[in-house]
Amino acid sequence: MSGAPHPFLEELIAFATPEDSKPDLLAARAQWVLQNGEVFDEDRQLEQRMAGFLEHYVCDRVAPHLGKTPARERYEQSLKEESPERAAAFRTFTETVHGIFEVRRIAQGLVRLRGLFSGITWDVTERRHIVGLEAGDVLEARLLPFAGHIHFSPSYCFHPHEAAAQIKAEAKRQLKEGVADERVFVHDCAQRALKVERYRQIAVEKIYDFAARKIQLPLPRGGEG
């Protein structure tokens, strides 16, 4: 099977979000907001963040009514009812890699990443030119293994160029001290990325100062930081 996995991801999201799933969807989103920060209509990151939540909902979160992730449920269903090709496509979403990465190289049709916590190198197939992305940058991403290639999912969280060295240094410190928890670190950085957009008068380096106590900045509309 060739092409990109995104149409199958859209199918999976539709499968996982029928009308009667709304209460569970809202509960999951409330928890996700607590971890990653609230996004509002005026935020430039709104579309990416909502895509990230839906990917988390279908790929990572165990659905209470299923006892497994929606991705696992859809894959098992496809094994019983559909072609091997479609089953292989849905298996993709049970094997995703979500984390924080350093960009090591950008070439025609390829972005090479290194996991800040795993140290694993990934060559991601990417035909588009991602505006503003440079070697040395840091981003949060979900990687999709599909048809012999690795692809980006639709959601990203780009961190400012100015913060890359601080993020890499903090990940290294946590690994050295044995206190590393990549998921918690991803959430922490995601909240800082929102604050960079909202508080342009504050230096990026201050917002990403991991050595300081967590910066408590009031979010718009009375939200919590």
Q: Is the pLDDT of residue 213 over 90?
A: no
In a domain, 176, yes or no: no
In a domain, 175, yes or no: no
Q: Is the pLDDT of residue 205 over 70?
A: yes
In a domain, 77, yes or no: yes
pLDDT band at 224 (very low <50, low <70, confident <90, very high): very low
User: pTM to 2 decimals?
Assistant: 0.90
In a domain, 14, yes or no: yes
Whole-number pLDDT of residue 222: 41
In a domain, 164, yes or no: no
Query: Of 163, 165, 115, which is closest to residue 143 (Cα–Cα)?
Result: 115
pLDDT exceeding 90 applies to what percent of the chain? Answer: 82
In a domain, 180, yes or no: no
Q: Which pairs with CB-CB distance under 8 Å and at least 24 residues apart come from 209-215? A: 209/166, 210/166, 210/170, 210/173
Q: Is 67 left (phi over 0), alpha (psi -120 to 50) or beta?
A: left
Domain count, the chain: 1
Backbone angles phi, psi at 207, to 5 degrees: -65, -35
Whole-number pLDDT of residue 7: 95
Taking only the tens place, the pLDDT of each residue in 75-131 is 999 999 999 999 999 999 999 999 999 999 999 999 999 999 999 999 999 887 777
In a domain, 78, yes or no: yes
Strand, helix or coil for residue 96? coil
> In angstroms, rounded to a whole number, what is the distance separating the alpha carbons of residues 211 and 166?
10
Two structure tokens written together for 178? 């044995």
In a domain, 135, yes or no: no
Query: Of 176, 190, 150, which is closest to residue 52 (Cα–Cα)?
Result: 190
> In angstroms, rounded to a whole number, what is the distance separating the alpha carbons of residues 50 and 156?
10
Whole-number pLDDT of residue 127: 82
Whole-number pLDDT of residue 130: 77
The answer to whether residues 17 and 28 touch, using CB atoms and an 8 Å cutoff, is no
> In angstroms, rounded to a whole number, what is the distance separating the alpha carbons of residues 5 and 187?
25
User: 42 lies in which domain range?
Assistant: 6-94
Taking only the tens place, the pLDDT of each residue in 134-181 is 999 999 999 999 999 999 999 989 999 999 999 999 999 999 999 999
Q: Is the CA virtual torsion 208, 105, 142, 170 positive or negative?
A: negative
> In angstroms, rounded to a whole number, what is the distance separating the alpha carbons of residues 97 and 105?
19
